[in-house]
Amino acid sequence: MTDTIILLLQLFWTFLLIGTFTIGGGYAMLSLIQGEVVVHHAWLSEKTFTDIVAISQMTPGPIGINTATYVGYDVLSAASGSHLLGILGSFAATLALVLPSFVIMLMIVRFYQKFKSNRLFEGVMGAIRPTVAGLIGAAAVVLTLKATWLPPEAGSILPSGLTIDIVRENFPDWKSWLLFAAAFAASWWGKVSPILLLLIAAGAGLLLY
């Protein structure tokens, strides 16, 4: 029981951090959720995380909220085996995600005009935006490639090397690369809606595998 309470508090704190440090919307948030939930806490695997993102993209609502709700449910119900605690987990994660926006937005509404023409604020945002683009790119790279640092050799403190493997759960064969390329082309040049692309992808999965 105490373990469950600690997990719940950890979940709340983690999503509070994610909500505070997400600048640039839902996709930027994915890289933070991934960093905390998959890499740091190892609550979910890369494969499960990708599934959750897929489900979040198909259900209505902001992708960050969907992912937080799902992760909250999954982490707590997997640890305790109870649906009810899972619901509590999803509630905690979603509330924690929204809370920082709430506090900061209320301050911004009050200082509306003052904020807009502040040059320091503009300077910071000018550097934050490119960083956020890189972070979103990293989320895609982590789901595609897995980087592992080799342990240090005797007498050294630095890792002896880096190996990079393809994440086989997400890219098992050439067909998956073909699907990736087709979806990219359809979305980037064809401006095909993501929902339609995901529906087609599910159908393609049934046909190809």
Give yes or no for residue 84 binding another protein (CB under 8 A): no
In degrees, rounded to 5, the angle at the alpha carbon of residue 38 between the alpha carbons of residues 159 and 83 is 150
What part of residues 22-81 is at the interface with another protein (CB under 8 A)? 22-27, 29-32, 35-36, 39-40, 47, 50-51, 53-66, 69-70, 73-74, 77
Could you tell me if 29 and 18 are in contact, meaning their C-beta atoms sit under 8 angstroms apart?
yes
> Which residue in 132, 183, 170, 203 sits closest to 49, CA to CA?
170
What part of residues 126-165 is at the interface with another protein (CB under 8 A)? 126-145, 147, 149, 162, 164
Least distance between another protein and beta carbon 195 (Å)? 5
Stretch that binds another protein, among 5-13, 150-158, 191-199 (CB under 8 A): 191-199
Identify the residue among 12, 15, 19, 92 touching another protein (CB under 8 A): 19
Q: Give the DSSP letter string of 110-162.
A: HTHHHHHT-HHHHHHHHHHHHHHHHHHHHHHHHHHEEEEEEPPPTT--S--EE
For another protein, the closer of residues 2 and 209 by Cβ is 209
What part of residues 100-129 is at the interface with another protein (CB under 8 A)? 100-102, 104-106, 108-109, 112, 115-116, 119-129
For another protein, the closer of residues 6 and 184 by Cβ is 184
DSSP secondary-structure letter at 169? Answer: T
